[in-house]
């Protein structure tokens, strides 16, 4: 599989991943936003499952940031 055809290098795939996995559940607030606020507040009481959940919901956003960085650098 060519580097440019891999799903994590597809803008459409990354946007869909961010809007679904990255934000779900949506109500009362996006889940990743709640985790970020919890960590910024000192992460008191966070268990291993909460850290895994943060990584799980944050991965699409990290990949989107990586995509834009590679685009700007001209490597994609």
pLDDT tens by residue, 19-62: 999 999 888 889 899 999 999 999 999 999 999 999 999 999 99
Counted domains in the chain: 1
User: How far, in Å, CA of 46 to CA of 55, rounded?
Assistant: 13
The answer to whether residue 3 is domain-embedded is no
User: How far, in Å, CA of 10 to CA of 1, rounded?
Assistant: 13
Q: Which structural domain, as residue segments, surrounds residue 51? A: 22-73
The answer to whether residue 52 is domain-embedded is yes
User: How far, in Å, CA of 76 to CA of 58, rounded?
Assistant: 22
Confidence band, pLDDT 50/70/90 cuts, at residue 8 = confident
Confidence band, pLDDT 50/70/90 cuts, at residue 76 = confident
Which tokens hold the place of 44? 């008191």
The answer to whether residue 32 is domain-embedded is yes
User: How far, in Å, CA of 11 to CA of 38, rounded?
Assistant: 29
């Amino acid at each position: 599989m060519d580097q440019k055809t891999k799903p994590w290098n597809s803008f459409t795939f990354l946007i869909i991943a961010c809007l679904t996995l990255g934000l779900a559940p949506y109500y009362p607030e996006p889940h990743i936003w709640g985790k970020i606020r919890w960590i910024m507040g000192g992460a008191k009481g966070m268990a291993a499952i909460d850290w895994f959940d943060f990584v799980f919901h944050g991965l699409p956003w990290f990949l989107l940031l990586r995509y834009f960085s590679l685009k700007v650098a001209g490597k994609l």
